[in-house]
Structure 1
Amino acid sequence: MNRITPIFIIALIALLSVSGMAQDKAARLERIDKFVQSYVDNGRLNGAVVLIEKDGRRVYEKTFGYRNVDSREAMSEDAIFRIASMTKPVISVAAMILYEEGLFSLDDPVSKFIPEFTNPTVVDTYNENDTTYTVRPASREITVRDLLSHSSGLGYAQIGDSRQNAIYYKNRINGGIGTPYSPLSEMIPKLAKLPLMNDPGSVFLYGLNTDVLGYFVEVVSGQPLDAFIKERIFDPLGMKDTYFYLPESHKSRLVPLYKYDDKLAEQDSLINLKMTFHRDYPLYSGEYFSGGAGLSSTAEDYMKFARMLLQEGKAGDTWILAPQTVRMMHTNQIGDHLMWGDGEMESRFGLGFGIFTRAAFRAYGMPEGAYGWSGMYASHFWVDPANNVTVVIMRNIWPTPDWDLSQRIVPVIYQALTVD
């Protein structure tokens, strides 16, 4: 009996220790619940889906609020969201699949594949009063690397500065997002004939680069963009709910688009610079495949994409990309230039992804070397190789005063991952 008692006590202590750790882990995960739920409870957000994986395991999955506020329909895990610019990483991966096949070099001129980009010009002078401008020859041609790193000099229609908006509007160039009409083969050659906002390679300028890249993929592959990404990315990853335009069977799962000004309300289709923004574009039978912003997806589907990136291109027994290629994609490609000109955050950009630097860790705890992107309608994702973590946050709200949720949630997530 005396020999059994110590063993019993040791086992009891171990059991209590494990139980205490489990309680601590549950309490820390609950902080994420409370954080996101507070936005719903305060009437600033209709709903969201948050997924977190660590070390290859799902450690957190939760839905919040309502898919539809008016009907009080609860948010569901299979809800479909407009992911806007989170389309860009997908199309960048598509381009790099063709790169691995030796079909182009990153420093090939785009005009080799899309002749309309030959001999580009740059805006030299611009008159704000009447939107007239003069041009000069660009210092060099745009390369494929420039498109992937947003350093081509192409601006953004509708969401760019006044100069970009005016020049593109006069020439009927749209921002891609929410615009189901006109195929890439019509819009991109027309865009190519317009002047750049600056010389290629001279500065990071967020623009229509990935829409051009989508057309580039069509030209190089010989397939429509939607068909190529389905065959080479979505089907191998098991992404069954990601589309430019939703099939009839999926339309009922699309989350309404909300806005928050002084109160939460469903967003209307917008008129921005006299150009229509179609709120319900995923429900149309469209022909414009916006590589920069056109996809809709579920949190689960996008996590499959993020997981592939964390695994350096591998999905199960399938390789989408080689590890070397994925590493290239989250390596700084813009040198000493800054994203957004933000000196405090010292942001950098790779081939399709924003890269978090030491400054991001100093500012709000995002691990240095993590990478990812966000969508206009407040969806976010990141891949953290150092900690073996992937995060997907899906919302559909614009405008919102709470864009910084994606930063504020970072310490809330990582504190929960300290107990395993």
Structure 2
Amino acid sequence: MLTRDKDIAGLSKRVDEVINKAIENNKIIGTVTLICKDGNFIYKSVAGYADREDKTKMELDSIFRLASVTKPIVSAAALVLVSKKIIGLDDPITKWLPDFQPRLMSGNKPSITIRHLLTHTAGLTYGFLEPEGGGAYKKAGVSDGMDLSGLSLKENLKRLSSAPLLYKPGTNWCYSIAVDVLGAVISKAYEDSLQTLIKTLITDPLKMTNTSFDVIDKQKIVAQYLSCSPIPKRMGDKEVAQVFEGTAGIVFEPARAFDTSAFPSGGSGMNGTAEDFLYFLEELRSGDFLLPKDIKNEITKIQTGNLPLTGWPGRGFGLGFTILKDPKEANTKESIGTWRLGGAYGHSWFVDPIEKLTVVSFTNTAFEGMDGQFTVDLTDAIYG
């Protein structure tokens, strides 16, 4: 445990070495990495470039395209509505989206609940996880929420509903576009746009002034890079990159961040700073403003039983992020119960409730900053 000044000094030295090495070896271009212990900052690093070509240095308030870092924010907003009795975890989503009734391969239309969406057990997937060349989602023209599709959210959900479910809801787990559907549900329930809902319930109360669906200050947003050999390449207008070999790959169109007409993707559409997101995580870990204790306990309880999580060995899923079950299987020094997720544009974060530790590391380099060796080395350095 980090209990003494010398422990924290040792941590700072180790983490500095990891970050400096990753930048020197061209693994990442730039990063903002923040660590809190028991509610107090014990480490802040702002390193490398926000824009390599323009030699613009990274700043503490640099804005990042959040990608899946959006998910816990939208999930928390849904849980605020649960706490207010506006929605229920086990309510069928047809209560708000009557036309969203995707079928199983058998032709049956099973009930999908809000809990299924929060836990990625709804039977949905992502187009980027389909086999190389595409599958039902590509055929239907479904947007994963990171491209300039030109679609409305209503049209995207219509297309998504036309594709078959992978399995009966609640019987399996697959990382998915479910939080985009969740965003549509809570918007209907709240009777306002998702942008307004998030601003009213989450970002304004927590003073997350640099976090939103629309980029607040275009001068502060980082340039995007893609891990390549020998050095990361600057993303063009459109890049397709595989998270897993043999899959269709994510369609990255960084300009989506500036398109005010783009539909608000609850799973990947927000932009923000590392500091804002750390404050959000700290509120979930130890605050009492957003959610009552019973809801907070439900968030961090494994909801998926013994279902395996592809890409996340040793972990289960709570209401918005993974929960560590078996550190040995996960090959990590994190404590049992640690929350973790990431973002495809190059972000990783975790909260270790036992150690009262909150870590946010945003980079502008996909996928190294999300799940590359940098994230492994960073975690090892933190725990010593």
Confirm or deny a common fold (TM above 0.5). yes
Unpaired stretches in structure 2, ≥5 consecutive residues? 241-247
Write the deviation string for residues 222-267 of structure 1: whole angstroms up to 9, x where unpaired: 01001000011000000010121213xx101111001121122211
Cα 1:88–1:160 shift into 2, 3 Å: same
Matched, 1:137 2:108: yes
| TM-fit CA distance, 1:65 | 0.9
Write the deviation string for residues 52-83 of structure 1: whole angstroms up to 9, x where unpaired: 00111111001111111112222111111111
Matched, 1:366 2:334: yes
Do the aligned residues in 1 keep the contact of 2:368 with 2:374 (CA within 8 Å)? no
Q: How does 1:385-400 map to 2 (within 5 A)?
A: 385-400=353-368
Unpaired stretches in structure 1, ≥5 consecutive residues? 1-20, 124-134, 416-420
| TM-fit CA distance, 1:275 | 9.5
TM-score of the two chains, using structure 2 as the length reference? 0.91
Alignment partners' CA distance in 2, 1:260 and 1:368: 31
Alignment partners' CA distance in 2, 1:351 and 1:392: 19
Q: How does 1:54-65 map to 2 (within 5 A)?
A: 54-65=37-48
Alignment partners' CA distance in 2, 1:108 and 1:22: 49
Cα 1:180–1:389 shift into 2, 3 Å: farther
Write the deviation string for residues 260-310 of structure 1: whole angstroms up to 9, x where unpaired: 211222111325469964222112223300000011110111111011011
Matched, 1:121 2:103: yes
| TM-fit CA distance, 1:27 | 4.0
Alignment partners' CA distance in 2, 1:148 and 1:399: 24
Paired AA for residue 295 in structure 2: T
Aligned length: 372
| TM-fit CA distance, 1:180 | 6.3
Q: State which of 188, 201, 206 in structure 2 corresponds to 1:219.
A: 188
Paired AA for residue 122 in structure 1: L
Matched, 1:326 2:309: no
2:346 corresponds to which residue?
378
1:258 corresponds to which residue?
225
Q: State which of 314, 328, 338 in structure 1 corresponds to 2:308.
A: 338
Q: How does 1:89-128 map to 2 (within 5 A)?
A: 89-118=72-101, 120-123=102-105
Alignment partners' CA distance in 1, 2:298 and 2:7: 39
Larger CA Rg, structure 1 vs 2: 1
TM-score of the two chains, using structure 1 as the length reference? 0.83
| TM-fit CA distance, 1:25 | 4.1
Do the aligned residues in 2 keep the contact of 1:109 with 1:142 (CA within 8 Å)? yes
2:245 corresponds to which residue?
none
Alignment partners' CA distance in 1, 2:280 and 2:298: 17
Alignment partners' CA distance in 2, 1:406 and 1:251: 28
Using the TM superposition, name which of 185-194 and 372-381 deviates more.
Answer: 185-194
1:31 corresponds to which residue?
14
Alignment partners' CA distance in 1, 2:258 and 2:162: 31
RCO (CA 8 Å, sep 6+): is it higher in 1 or 2? 2
Matched, 1:147 2:117: yes
Cα 1:23–1:210 shift into 2, 3 Å: closer
Identity %: 29
Paired AA for residue 136 in structure 1: G
Q: How does 1:234-273 map to 2 (within 5 A)?
A: 234-247=203-216, 250-262=217-229, 263-270=231-238, 272=240
3-state SS in 2 of match to 1:165: coil
Do the aligned residues in 2 keep the contact of 1:174 with 1:275 (CA within 8 Å)? no
| TM-fit CA distance, 1:346 | 2.3
| TM-fit CA distance, 1:192 | 2.1
3-state SS in 1 of match to 2:104: strand
Matched, 1:294 2:269: yes
Q: State which of 4, 15, 35 in structure 2 corresponds to 1:52.
A: 35
3-state SS in 2 of match to 1:98: helix
Q: State which of 167, 170, 190 in structure 1 corresponds to 2:136.
A: 167
| TM-fit CA distance, 1:353 | 0.9
Alignment partners' CA distance in 1, 2:55 and 2:150: 33
3-state SS in 2 of match to 1:64: strand
Alignment partners' CA distance in 1, 2:311 and 2:59: 38
